[in-house]
């Protein structure tokens, strides 16, 4: 496995793979790897010959009051995991490699970032699409895997690939959870013991909503409000909880047969922000 930290050194490696007729898979990460990331490596490896992983904590997707400085960083351990999982190349660029001091261009998102995480994380998804766009241009992968865990990110990347004509094929990895249902996240490391014990409440709330929808209950507003109350009673502070149309990512109050929905929530436990979702096809 090669660890490469410049674009100039990475490109010839990718070209060499392609010259040998090999397909390239790509999994971008911000490091602090857990089973969720590893599941994406394994998914990508089912669809490619050579796996490229990037480990880069992208500053443009963090707001001024977010956790950029304290985001967990554990490069040595991450590299060992990448090697064990069969990555061919790990790309570990610095901020200087990824961004010049003065940037003149940006990506603008219409509507798809108005709700869910986009509503509370100003410019977050613009930063995500910017870095993924750059990474796609740098790595030029045949396939790239992203997690359902960040479903709004996934839908936006699907749109970007479509509208900007990237030739990459996207793979969506299912959410990997701890035994008690909590979706794995690098940010779970911030939780103290009490918060960690409370945290699976979000998964359970989404599960109740899914079950009620499957059982044919149609009053979305009422059932969401009920789950919000339950979560607040357990000590969660709610950023959002709701049912969203898969394509438009906008909240719905009525459900129709044949449509796909995302039941999603973001909550705070203390200062830690947790997100989770379930996709439902009616
Ligand atoms: P991050 O390092 O948080 O930027 O995440 C890198 C990739 O891993 C993204 O595509 C995430 O959606 C995905 N991911 C994060 N947590 C999980 C999880 N619990 N299960 C599956 N994929 C995940």
What span, in angstroms and rounded, lies between the C-alpha atoms of 178 and 228? 23
Pocket of ligand 1 (CB under 6 A): 29-30, 36-37, 39-40, 146-147, 149-150, 173, 175-176, 183-186
Q: Whose CA is nearest to atom 6 of ligand 1?
A: 29
* H or E, element range at 273: strand 272-281
Each residue of 45-76: pLDDT tens digit?
Answer: 999 999 999 999 999 999 998 999 999 999 99
Active site residues: 37
What span, in angstroms and rounded, lies between the C-alpha atoms of 263 and 206? 6
**Looking at the DSSP assignment, which residues form a beta bridge with residue 243?**
263
Q: What pLDDT shows up at residue 264? A: 98
Under the banding of pLDDT at 50, 70 and 90, the label for residue 218 is: confident
What span, in angstroms and rounded, lies between the C-alpha atoms of 91 and 6? 8
Question: Three-state SS for 48?
Answer: coil
Crossing angle of helices 124-139 and 7-19, in 10° steps, is 50
| Order of all β-strands in the sheet with 260-269 | 237-245, 260-269, 272-281
Q: What pLDDT shows up at residue 217? A: 87
Q: 123 CA distance to ligand 1 centroid (A)?
A: 19
Q: Whose CA is nearest to atom 5 of ligand 1?
A: 29
Q: Is the pLDDT of residue 101 over 90?
A: no
Mutate to test the pocket of ligand 1, among 25, 34, 37, 273 (most ligand atoms within 8 A of CB): 37
Mean pLDDT computed over every residue of the chain: 96
What span, in angstroms and rounded, lies between the C-alpha atoms of 108 and 55? 24
Which residue from 211, 213, 224 is spatially nearest to 251, judged by alpha carbons? Answer: 224
Please report the atom of ligand 1 found closest to the CA of residue 186.
Answer: 3
Work out the burial of residue 214: count CB atoms within 10 Å of its CB; fewer than 13 is exposed, 13-18 middle, 19 or more buried.
exposed
**Token pair in block for residue 279:** 């996709």
Mutate to test the pocket of ligand 1, among 147, 173, 179 (most ligand atoms within 8 A of CB): 147
Question: Three-state SS for 40?
Answer: helix
Each residue of 222-274: pLDDT tens digit?
Answer: 999 999 999 999 999 999 999 999 999 999 999 999 999 999 999 999 999 99
Each residue of 118-170: pLDDT tens digit?
Answer: 999 999 999 999 999 999 999 999 999 999 999 999 999 999 999 999 999 99
**Looking at the DSSP assignment, which residues form a beta bridge with residue 183?**
177
Q: Are 50 and 17 in contact (CB under 8 A)?
A: yes
**Token pair in block for residue 22:** 């090999």
């Amino acid at each position: 496995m090669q660890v490469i930290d410049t674009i100039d050194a990475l490109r010839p490696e990718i070209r060499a793979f392609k010259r040998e007729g090999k397909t390239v898979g790509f999994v971008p990460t911000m490091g602090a790897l857990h089973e969720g990331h590893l599941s994406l490596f394994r998914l990508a490896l089912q669809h490619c010959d050579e796996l490229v992983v990037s480990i880069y904590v992208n500053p443009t997707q963090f707001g001024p009051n977010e956790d950029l400085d304290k985001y967990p960083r554990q490069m040595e351990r991450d590299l060992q995991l990448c090697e064990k999982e069969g990555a061919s190349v790990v790309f570990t660029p610095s901020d200087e490699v990824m961004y010049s001091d003065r940037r003149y261009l940006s990506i603008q998102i219409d509507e798809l970032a108005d709700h869910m995480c986009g509503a509370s994380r100003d410019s977050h998804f613009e930063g995500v699409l910017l870095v993924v766009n750059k990474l796609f241009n740098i790595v030029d992968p045949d396939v790239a895997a992203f997690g359902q865990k960040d479903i709004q990110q996934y839908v936006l990347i699907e749109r970007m690939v479509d509208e900007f004509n990237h030739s990459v094929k996207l793979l969506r990895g299912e959410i990997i959870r701890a035994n008690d249902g909590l979706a794995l996240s690098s940010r779970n490391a911030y939780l103290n013991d009490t918060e960690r014990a409370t945290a699976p409440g979000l998964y359970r709330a989404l599960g109740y909503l899914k079950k009620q929808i499957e059982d044919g209950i149609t009053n979305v507003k009422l059932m969401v409000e009920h789950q919000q109350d339950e979560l607040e009673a357990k000590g969660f502070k709610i950023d959002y909880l709701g049912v969203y149309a898969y394509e438009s990512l906008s909240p719905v109050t009525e459900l129709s047969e044949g449509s796909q929905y995302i039941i999603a929530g973001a909550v705070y436990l203390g200062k830690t922000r947790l997100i989770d979702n379930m996709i439902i096809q009616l």
